[in-house]
Amino acid sequence: MKEDGGASAVYSMGVAERLTGLTARQIRYWEKHGLLAPDRTKGRQRLYAEADITKMKEIKRLLADGMTMDRVKAHFANREARRIRPVEERPNRMSERIPRVGSLYGGANRAELERLINRKGGK
């Protein structure tokens, strides 16, 4: 099972146009310049995922803000490289850290914890 909840929908070029407010020509233009890489049907028809639609809207915004395509491309390249995910998906909530501190505090590492606390004279 993949992640579902109706999130695996794909859209045709025509639908993508309507959903993004872009022209088909513009979408192909961006793809030609490396900004998009949609899946294809066996008949070479483009299939856009929800993420592609979102990306198009973001590209649209960035370009409207004065970005060049090279910069927009670099923007997304960095996102991939640094694996930046939405904050909500990051496993860095305190609730996942506190338990570690708790076990350290009351477990066999109590002495280690006190050593860490007491070194440097406690500030």
Partner DNA sequence: CTTCTCACA
Partner DNA sequence: TGTGAGCA
Residue 62 binds DNA (CB under 7 A): no
- Nearest-approach distance from CB 13 to DNA, in angstroms: 4
- Which pair of tokens denotes residue 87? 């904050």
**Residue 114, Cβ neighbours under 10 Å: how many?**
11
Instruction: Decide: is 63 part of the binding site for DNA (CB under 7 A).
Output: yes
Q: Residue 21 in contact with residue 60, Cβ under 8 Å?
A: yes
Site for DNA in 33-52 (CB under 7 A): 33, 44-46
Residue matched to tokens 């070479």: 44
Query: What is the contact surface with DNA in residues (CB under 7 A)?
Result: 12-14, 17, 23-26, 28-30, 33, 44-46, 63, 68-70
